[in-house]
């Protein structure tokens, strides 16, 4: 009897020791990499597509053949909005998304920007989806650990690790697609990782994976999230998806210690103006969404119809204020510029200038002077750098890109904002259509014609 009791005691001791050892091992293995992946894994989406391709030969059957494609996406709103690369969804017949738990949903493309190679797709999920937190790329360090999550070669939710190899890389993929200011990493970004997240050890998206160097190993690239954020906000704007508008022009303030959204300007007679929003306000909440950037701001207003009251909380002079914004229909007007700057706030342009250039041409402009390297050794006295392009605008449709320098409209030079305003306010403006433009792109002077809208604010 005594021996049996002793044996039972030994068994309990061994079992307790084993459990304790396993618990210690699990704690030891919970590295920063593991914690980061656990934070984002449920917000990464595997994308499967099908498209029909047709042969170029005169003797082809004309029936076409089905081609399967793959990519990755990031959940940016709990209602099923997902960001990915435009080249992942371009021309597809169908899209199927697989979440981390294995659930599958059909998706549709709701908006895209081909120049920025970003698109928003949507699934009708049976539950609210976890949103992947967006970080900042402004403070990235060479050698910093980064992680890529994606649908590598069809192996869903694959994780690779590496470092930031370089910053501000310009990459030309082909004659039709080039990228500026990319993050270079040696984390393996395999085919089908396109559109997926590059994250830091805090489990925040710091880039959208976009390209690999063909024939090279461990050379991949990602769009910095501070660049992508502006495009995502435009693609998810209530003007783009809901046909409503607010009229608040905002700027993202991003640093290691500060993540907030500040109002830089309010358009006259806009819902934001009527609601009492002021320049300098920090937007804290819109609807049910806590706001830290432009994407949150648009998400908070998304889904509300014209005439609906949406609660908005702002911080003004260190005090929190609760306001209500009544959204208006955007029919008959064109989209508001979403953001003017990221990381470092800049002085806002005059409201009328912002509104006219954005509404009529679809671009934001910043003045350059002759000492700028782009203008040196050219015959132009100055120009206006294009800092933003509105999707679907005359500027986008005519191939203008961020970084181009506008040096002329119609028969006049565009050295400054006054020159641009002179053209747009000209009494014969309607007779200029289509409006001829001249730009500098690298060392080349290019020209084209903008079919501008007849309406002017």
Residues with catalytic annotation?
Answer: 87, 117, 194
Q: Which uninterrupted H or E stretch holds 275? A: helix 271-275
Exposure on the CB side of residue 243, measured as CA atoms within 13 A: 3
* Other Cβ atoms within 10 Å of 96 Cβ, number: 14
CA–CA separation, 49 vs 31, rounded Å?
35
Residue 283 is encoded by which pair of tokens? 């937007």
Phi, psi of 17 (to 5 degrees): -65, -40
Residue 31 is encoded by which pair of tokens? 């590295």
Q: Which uninterrupted H or E stretch holds 271? A: helix 271-275
Strands 248-254 and 339-342 come out as parallel
Phi, psi of 421 (to 5 degrees): -60, -35
CB 232 within 8 A of CB 76: yes
Q: Which uninterrupted H or E stretch holds 14? A: helix 2-29
Q: What is the CA radius of gyration of the chain?
A: 26
Q: How far is CA 416 from the centre of its chain?
A: 29
Residue 27 is encoded by which pair of tokens? 């704690």
CA–CA separation, 77 vs 124, rounded Å?
12
CA–CA separation, 328 vs 267, rounded Å?
13
Omega into 434 within 30° of 0, i.e. cis? yes
DSSP-derived 3-state class of residue 296: helix
CA–CA separation, 399 vs 39, rounded Å?
39
Residues in the chain: 457
Q: Which residues, in sequence order, are CB contacts of 384 under 8 Å at separation 6+?
A: 365, 366, 367, 368, 405, 406, 407, 414, 415, 416, 417, 420
Nearest to 340 by CA among 327, 331, 353, 326: 353
CA–CA separation, 138 vs 342, rounded Å?
9
**Could you give the angle at the alpha carbon of 106 between the alpha carbons of 100 and 112, nearest 5°?**
95
The DSSP line for 401-448 is -TT-EEEEETTEE-SSHHHHHHHHT-TTGGGGPSEEEEEEETTEEEEE
């Amino acid at each position: 009897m005594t021996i049996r009791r002793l044996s039972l005691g030994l068994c309990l001791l061994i079992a307790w020791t084993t459990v304790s050892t396993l618990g210690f091992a699990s704690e030891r293995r919970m590295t920063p990499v593991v914690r980061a992946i656990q934070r984002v894994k449920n917000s990464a989406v595997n994308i499967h597509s099908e498209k029909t391709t047709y042969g170029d030969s005169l003797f082809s059957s004309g029936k076409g053949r089905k081609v399967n494609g793959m990519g990755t996406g990031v959940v940016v709103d709990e209602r099923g909005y997902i960001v990915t690369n435009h080249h992942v969804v371009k021309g597809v017949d169908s899209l199927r998304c697989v979440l981390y738990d294995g659930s599958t949903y059909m998706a549709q493309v709701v908006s895209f920007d081909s120049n920025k190679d970003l698109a928003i797709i949507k699934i009708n999920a049976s539950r609210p989806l976890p949103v992947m937190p967006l970080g900042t790329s402004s403070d990235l360090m060479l050698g910093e650990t980064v992680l890529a999550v994606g649908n590598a070669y069809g192996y869903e939710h694959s994780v690779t690790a590496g470092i930031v190899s370089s910053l501000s890389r310009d990459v030309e993929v082909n004659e039709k697609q080039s990228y500026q200011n990319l993050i270079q990493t040696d984390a393996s970004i395999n085919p089908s990782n396109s559109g997926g997240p590059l994250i830091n050890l805090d489990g925040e998206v710091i880039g959208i994976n976009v390209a690999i160097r063909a024939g090279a190993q461990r050379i991949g690239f990602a769009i910095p999230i501070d660049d992508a954020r502006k495009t995502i906000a435009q693609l998810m704007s209530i003007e783009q998806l809901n046909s409503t508008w607010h009229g608040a022009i905002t700027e993202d303030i991003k640093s290691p210690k500060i993540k907030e959204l500040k109002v830089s300007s309010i358009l006259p007679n806009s819902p934001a103006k009527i609601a009492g929003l002021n320049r300098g306000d920090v937007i804290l909440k819109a609807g049910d969404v806590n706001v830290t950037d432009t994407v949150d701001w648009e998400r908070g207003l998304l889904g509300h119809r014209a005439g609906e009251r949406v609660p908005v909380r702002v911080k003004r002079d260190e005090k929190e204020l609760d306001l209500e914004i009544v959204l208006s229909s955007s029919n008959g007007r064109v989209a508001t510029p979403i953001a003017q700057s990221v990381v470092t706030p800049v002085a806002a342009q005059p409201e009328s200038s912002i509104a006219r250039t954005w509404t009529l041409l679809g671009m934001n402009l910043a003045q350059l002077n002759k000492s700028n390297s782009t203008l040196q050794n050219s015959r132009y006295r100055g120009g206006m750098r294009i800092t933003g392009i509105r999707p679907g605008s005359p500027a986008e449709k005519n191939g203008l890109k961020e970084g181009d320098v506008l040096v002329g409209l119609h028969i006049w030079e565009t050295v400054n904002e006054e020159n641009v305003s002179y053209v747009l306010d000209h009494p014969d403006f309607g007779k200029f259509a289509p409006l001829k433009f001249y730009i500098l792109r690298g060392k080349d002077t290019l020209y084209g014609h903008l079919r501008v809208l007849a309406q002017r604010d």
